[in-house]
């Protein structure tokens, strides 16, 4: 294995479960660290046969101790599925599963790319068994991404309304990174977009010397300054089919 491949494998892990090494490779350390911690905490609520909607690389697969784990995704011209781990593709409208097929459903950072959220949630509701659990994460404060297939941002109140009108009871609702880290993560995202290169090692250099100081400052100040529950990066919502 080449040295660059070795570092890329480390980076893949640090992209979604960032530790101290991720400070040197992951410009989204604050956001991804927050998500990973919350998803790990809520993962035990999902059991049995699990469907991961918009699965991509199944980055959080290891957190779920379930009987089966199926990844569903859509062919999207704005997103490459190269090196991803998709079991089943669908047409963007109807999931290719019978009613009441799954005990649990996970949907991570996908809803913002769905133009018709009511139809999308109706499909999730149809495929979920009665009483089944549904865990969703979606950005609140974030830049446009995977353009032009980025359609919405959801407040905590908008999400709860959307879930309840589509046949779900909200069990738990959380906000990830609800402190000064929001400001620093957005600053880092700005720097990342204007400095990103096609070269892995160059990006590591830029992350280390341009972005890591802001990550550390955001982390440090986030411990000491008051939270602001109205300004945060991501929503997490755990709901049950009724």
Nearest CA among 6, 4, 241, 29 for reference residue 135: 241
Look at residue 12 in the predicted model and tell me its pLDDT. 79
Task: List the single range of 6-10, 37-41, 164-168, 229-233 with lowest mean pLDDT.
Answer: 6-10
What is the spatial distance between Cα 212 and Cα 169, in angstroms, rounded to a whole number?
40
The per-residue pLDDT for range 71-94, each reduced to its tens digit, is 999 976 556 667 788 999 998 899
Query: What pLDDT was estimated at residue 200?
Result: 85
Output the pLDDT for position 218: 98
pLDDT in tens, 147-163: 888 999 999 999 999 99
Q: Where are the domains of the chain?
A: 1-43+179-226, 46-175+234-242
134 has a pLDDT exceeding 90: yes
**Cβ-count burial of 80 within 10 angstroms (0-12 exposed, 13-18 middle, 19+ buried)?**
exposed
Structure confidence by residue, pLDDT tens digits, 86-132: 999 998 899 999 999 999 999 999 999 999 999 999 999 999 999 99
Query: Which fold would CATH assign to domain 46-175+234-242?
Result: Rossmann fold (3.40.50)
Give pLDDT, residue 95.
96
170-222 pLDDT tens trace: 999 999 999 999 999 999 999 999 999 999 889 999 999 999 999 999 999 99
Q: Using N-to-C axis directions, what is the helix angle for 212-224 and 29-42, rounded to 10°?
A: 50
- The CA-CA-CA angle for residues 214, 140, 206, to 5°, reads 25
When the pLDDT of each residue in the chain is averaged and rounded to a whole number, the result is 94
The contacts of residue 73 (CB under 8 Å, 6+ apart) are 54, 55, 56, 81, 84, 86, 88, 89, 90
Closest among 24, 6, 8, 26 to 16, alpha carbons compared: 26
Contact 1, 193 (CB under 8 A): no
- Return the SS3 of 139: strand
106 and 135 in contact (C-beta within 8 Å)?
Answer: yes
- Neighbour tally for 204: CB within 10 Å: 15
pLDDT tens column, 31-76: 999 999 999 999 999 999 999 999 999 999 999 999 999 999 997 6
Partners of 135 in beta bridges: 106, 238
């Amino acid at each position: 294995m080449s040295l660059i491949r070795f570092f890329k494998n480390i980076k893949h892990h640090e992209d979604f479960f960032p530790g101290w090494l991720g400070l040197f490779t992951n410009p989204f350390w604050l956001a991804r660290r927050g998500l990973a911690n919350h998803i790990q905490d809520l993962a035990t609520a999902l059991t049995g046969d699990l469907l991961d909607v918009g699965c991509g690389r199944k980055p959080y697969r290891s957190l779920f101790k379930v009987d089966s784990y199926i990844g569903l995704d859509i062919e999207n011209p704005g997103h490459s599925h190269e090196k991803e781990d998709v079991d089943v593709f669908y047409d963007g409208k109807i999931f290719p599963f019978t009613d009441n097929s799954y005990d649990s459903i996970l949907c991570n950072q996908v809803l913002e790319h769905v133009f018709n959220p009511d139809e999308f949630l109706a499909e999730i509701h149809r495929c979920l068994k009665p009483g089944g659990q549904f865990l969703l994460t979606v950005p609140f404060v974030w830049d446009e991404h995977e353009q032009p297939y980025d359609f919405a941002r959801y407040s905590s109140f908008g999400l709860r309304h959307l879930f309840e009108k589509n046949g779900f009871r909200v069990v738990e609702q959380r906000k990830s990174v609800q402190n000064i880290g929001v400001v620093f993560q957005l600053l880092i995202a700005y720097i990342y977009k204007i400095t990103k290169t096609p070269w892995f090692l160059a990006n590591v250099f830029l992350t280390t010397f341009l972005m890591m100081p802001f990550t550390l400052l955001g982390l440090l100040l986030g411990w000491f300054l008051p939270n602001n529950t109205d300004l945060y990066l991501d929503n997490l919502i755990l709901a049950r089919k009724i």
